[in-house]
Amino acid sequence: MKKAIINKKAKHEYEILDKWETGIVLKGWEVKSTRERRVNFANSFAQINKKGEIFLYNLDIAPYTSIGRADYDTKRERKLLLHKSEIRRLIGILSQKGLTLVPLSVYFKKGKVKVEIGLAKGKKLYDKREKLKRKAIDREVRHTLKEKRKFY
């Protein structure tokens, strides 16, 4: 099994509250491109339409390298596959202000393409700065401990 293609920016921009594993409806060349890891998560999000179906928007799957035609839309909307009970639960949760669904990763499981979506709440700028400060302090502490171990 190949490693997942991870949306690193989502964890920086959002606080992830919950996660779901979903299937995704793709065309043949999109699956091949996904195997080549040609997926871009920039500005992608999931939304539930009026029919109670969930779609993924702006997920950019680059064209397969040896595809012969040019009549494809790389950022087309793609249907996500979830149970109706899960979709109903999501509808209730998403009615709260400030919550959205973002794709966290794309990966293969038993030959099928899966997308991990997360219920996310946007972080404020000061939250991001605080996290970066904490990360720098932790790195500095680890470095000092490593230096002290050299002397013992």
Q: Per-residue pLDDT tens for 65-91?
A: 776 666 677 888 999 999 999 999 988
Query: Considering only 23-32, 46-55, 85-94, 124-133, which range has the smallest mean pLDDT?
Result: 124-133
Give percent of the chain with pLDDT exceeding 90.
32
pTM of the model: 0.76
Residue 106 neighbours by CB distance under 10 Å: 22
Give percent of the chain with pLDDT exceeding 70.
93
Question: How far apart (Å, rounded) are the C-alpha atoms in residues 127 and 133?
Answer: 10
The arithmetic mean of pLDDT across residues 32-46, rounded, is 89
- Tell me, what's the pLDDT at 152? 61
- Does the domain at 5-123 match CATH 1.20.80.30? Answer given as no
CA angle 85, 86, 91 (to 5 degrees): 95
Which among 66, 69, 55 has a CA at the least distance from the CA of 101?
55
Question: How far apart (Å, rounded) are the C-alpha atoms in residues 106 and 39?
Answer: 8
